[in-house]
Structure 1
Amino acid sequence: MKQLVWLFKWLLKAAIFFTLFAFALNNQGDVTVHFFFGTHWTAPLVLVVLVAFAAGLLIGVLGMVPRWWRHRRAASRARQAAATAIANANAESNKPPMAPPHGL
């Protein structure tokens, strides 16, 4: 069963690759992208589409970076607060040290 899933994954990857490859071969015509102040760029259509996709991906990742940083900071604070609470509880009860809860 594992080999069948592995084979299916590779067939799906190959189908996606050949579809994109056929798209690239069918769109080799030159297009002109007009920018501001009369500047322009002439390149194959598939290259323009690839650059637009990469730029969108980069903008999306850069837009998520502040949230990722806030999330990491909040997780670090929660981990630190849990460790402090466990240390305080252990100090008050004179019991052997407790392990922190899983996942914190």
Structure 2
Amino acid sequence: MRLIAWVIRVLVFVLLLVLALANTQTATLNFLAGYAWQAPLILIGLAFFIVGLLAGLLSALPAVFRMRMENGRLKRELRTAREAPAPVVEPPLPPVI
């Protein structure tokens, strides 16, 4: 299974490398107020990929912190439950006839 995963990774890397080498022509990205950025097309694509990656990570941070806080709370509750003595449960009495 690991071999299949590595073969897929190598194929994706080769595909992306071929795509990058095929898109080296200069492209112009026009912003508001007349600003423009001229760079190779693959560099513009890489920049947008990195910006999207950072935006995704930043949007996931609140959920990660919330889960870490809940995990800590649950660990404290578990520690408290383990330290507390277990209540003695007596079996029910048989019915009186």
Matched, 1:33 2:49: no
Matched, 1:48 2:41: no
Structure 2 alignment gaps of length 5 or more: 89-97
Q: Deviations over 1:53-76 (max 9, x none)?
A: 111011000110111011000010
Q: Which segments of structure 1 move beyond 4 Å, counting only runs of 4 or more?
A: none
**Aligned residue pairs, count:** 88
How high is the TM-score relative to the length of structure 1? Answer: 0.75
CA separation of 1:36/1:74 partners in 2, compared to 1, >3 Å: closer, same or farther? same
CA separation of 1:7/1:79 partners in 2, compared to 1, >3 Å: closer, same or farther? closer
Residue 10 of structure 2 is matched in structure 1 by 14
How high is the TM-score relative to the length of structure 2? Answer: 0.80
How far 1:40 moved relative to its partner? Answer: 0.9
Residue 97 of structure 1 is matched in structure 2 by none
Percent identity between the aligned chains?
Answer: 32
Q: Quick check: which has more Rg, 1 or 2?
A: 2
Matched, 1:80 2:59: no
Root mean square deviation, CA, Å? 1.7
Residue 66 of structure 2 is matched in structure 1 by 70
Higher helix share: 1
Q: Deviations over 1:54-99 (max 9, x none)?
A: 1101100011011101100001001101111221225x77xxxxxx
